[in-house]
Amino acid sequence: MPTMTGSQALLRVLKENGVDVIFGIPGGVTIPIYDALYDEPSIRHILVRHEQAAALAAEGYARRSGKVGVCLATSGPGATNLVTGIANAMMDSIPIVAITGQVKTFAIGRDSFQEADVTGITMPITKHNRLVKRPQDLLETLREAFYIARTGRPGPVLVDLPSDVSTSQVEWVGPHPNGDFQLEGYHPPGEGDPLAIAEAARLIDAAERPILYVGGGAVSANASEPVRALARKANLYVVNTLLGKGVYPETDRQSLGMPGMHGTTYASYAINHCDLMIVVGARFDDRVTGDLKTFAPGAKVIHIDIDPAEIGKNRAADVAIEGDARLVVRALVEQVAPRERGAWEESLDQYRAEHPLTVPESDELTPQQVIQAVYEVTEGNAVVTTDVGQHQMWAAQFYLAKEPRQFLSSGGLGAMGYGFPAAIGAQVADPEAVVFDIAGDGSIQMNIQELATATHEQLPVKVAVLNNGYLGMVRQWQELLYQKRYSGVRLAGNPDFVKVAEAYGATGRTVTRPAEVRPALEWSLTVTDRPCFLDFRVAPEESVFPMIPAGKSFSDIWETHPNPSKGADR
């Protein structure tokens, strides 16, 4: 059998799994890998400026492309800097493989320079991880990592590679000729129980007030086509989680958008008045349910999920179907009877007309105006990433997704700093797409150093910073729930973001008036060889509504500010 170094074998397995790009930063123990990369032109290495950005960019790449993203970091601090990104991938079920360098095998456990127990640290936040102690285990470990990351409920897998393993000789054994890979004890569900599917179809046919509730699992399963077919055949109105945006087009009449804390009033109304919820790849997150005791009190639940641990975890299921959402929903479409519109659908249309989402009319520049303009200028076709905070919720409300993998946001972990690296990854995955990162002035500064990465790679990512001078979501809670006792939220030292962008070799504009918004956005679309920062100086104390306070129910919703004289103490 041919032999090669562990580093060369690593790159060969990456190519075998369709990897064409790695996001990373080198260090001492990963030099052998980077030396092998020097002779491997088919794999593009993108040098980020912080390892957290490597993991988040790999996620953006994975979410946009549907492939496994790969990030690479050195031992010790390089590996620990990946932790937030890995945790984010775990919470949102994103398939990435994180490869970390490690000190030599004989130095492990001796407090060696830049040593950290990376497998121990990441065990709770990975789907699987493994320290490769012997060269002969390397090929199996790497193939196993990609298989686990992309199958079943996707997620992050970490491979920790000591430097002496990466330099040792490895006997190359190719993959199985037909591509099969079997892992003892790991058997992701497939088509689902036919009896349960038949019972689900019976419940849908009998329901008077059904709702289709779609989450990020439907995106991971590429289940958009059968979900749309089910909604249209059975005339089901659809609500989607933040991660489920675009599975069913939010521009369609049957879409009610996102329910929950900052979702549409009519989506939450539909959930709380339905008699049946057909749940596809969603986990009943607390930001959607609020008080579980009062959530959809009269509804039966059909729960379809590939992860049996999610079924019944937060809300009991009347019909539980473990399986691949694409296959299960496709089978369900064949069995449900066609259903006509009725009084339920008419009532939802009427409620939506009476409780619309609106962009405030104001001479002062508002965040909602900016996002509405981004939507209009891009004709709803941009790939949108967000950071975390108020701007994230406004983006979810006002940028309607037509397709899955179009709206990329940190859901479960809520990681500030996510949006810009994710936009870089998405732009690398889809070079022809218009990619907009809608960011806050707090979040963007978490990974603003990646301007160097995007500029060097000539990535035309657009960054729309909603600059209100606050950590806005915390400020909003302090205003509404803590008597305006603003503590630790004023971003008094913000830089001139356009000058920062220009210092990195990017470009940008500052926008202060509503009349300047559209021209600035249209100009940004003409910039095709570098990132473009748009600094929108928006109303400092605008709040996101509707709002259901944490732990409360739909009956506690604030559709507008609860205090009409809302001027905050400044």
- The pLDDT tens digits of the residues spanning 281-315 come to 999 999 999 999 999 999 999 999 999 999 999 99
Q: Is residue 185 part of a domain?
A: no
**Sign of the alpha-carbon dihedral angle for 375, 380, 386, 392:** positive
**pLDDT (0 to 100) of residue 186:** 87
Q: Is residue 184 part of a domain?
A: no
- Split into its structural domains, the chain has a count of 3
**Sign of the alpha-carbon dihedral angle for 439, 243, 46, 436:** negative
**pLDDT (0 to 100) of residue 120:** 98
Residues 139 and 265 in one domain: no
Residues 238 and 276 in one domain: yes
Residues 383 and 240 in one domain: no
Chosen domain end from 333, 354, 375: 354
Please count the residues of the chain: 570
> What pLDDT digit, counting tens, does each position of 92-105 carry?
999 999 999 999 99
Residues 401 and 528 in one domain: yes
Angle, helices 138-150/6-16, rounded to nearest 10 degrees: 30
Q: Is residue 178 part of a domain?
A: no
What is the secondary structure of 484-506 as a DSSP string? T---S-B-TT---HHHHHHHTT-
pLDDT of residue 569 exceeding 50, the answer is no
Three-state SS for 97? strand
Residue 148's contacts (CB-CB under 8 Å, 6 or more residues apart) are 127, 128, 155, 157, 183, 186
Report the distance separating Cα 61 and Cα 220, nearest Å. 14
Q: Is residue 176 part of a domain?
A: no
Largest CA distance in the chain: 78
Residues 539 and 405 in one domain: yes
Q: Which of 540, 546, 541, 539 is nearest to 561 (CA)?
A: 546
Quote the domain boundaries for residue 473: 367-556
Residues 384 and 314 in one domain: no
Chosen domain end from 354, 380, 409: 354
Q: Is residue 492 part of a domain?
A: yes
Residues 464 and 487 in one domain: yes
Q: Token pair for residue 27?
A: 């260090």
**pLDDT (0 to 100) of residue 503:** 98
Q: Is residue 119 part of a domain?
A: yes
**CATH code (residue 451):** 3.40.50.970
Beta bridge partners of 169: 5
Residue 544's contacts (CB-CB under 8 Å, 6 or more residues apart) are 262, 390, 393, 394, 397, 473, 476
> What pLDDT digit, counting tens, does each position of 385-418 carry?
999 999 999 999 999 999 999 999 999 999 999 9
pLDDT of residue 181 exceeding 80, the answer is no
Q: Is residue 183 part of a domain?
A: no
Q: Which of 439, 428, 430, 422 is nearest to 403 (CA)?
A: 430
Report the distance separating Cα 270 and Cα 268, nearest Å. 5
Residues 232 and 144 in one domain: no
**pLDDT (0 to 100) of residue 570:** 33
Residues 225 and 341 in one domain: yes
Q: Token pair for residue 535?
A: 């600094």
Residues 504 and 455 in one domain: yes
Residues 161 and 216 in one domain: no
**In the predicted model, what is the mean pLDDT of residues 60-79?**
98
Chosen domain end from 290, 320, 354: 354
Q: Is residue 203 part of a domain?
A: yes
**In the predicted model, what is the mean pLDDT of residues 451-467?**
98
> What pLDDT digit, counting tens, does each position of 188-236 carry?
889 999 999 999 999 999 999 999 999 999 999 999 999 999 999 999 9
**pLDDT (0 to 100) of residue 180:** 66
**pLDDT (0 to 100) of residue 362:** 87
**In the predicted model, what is the mean pLDDT of residues 443-448?**
98
**pLDDT (0 to 100) of residue 297:** 94
pTM value is 0.96
Residues 306 and 342 in one domain: yes
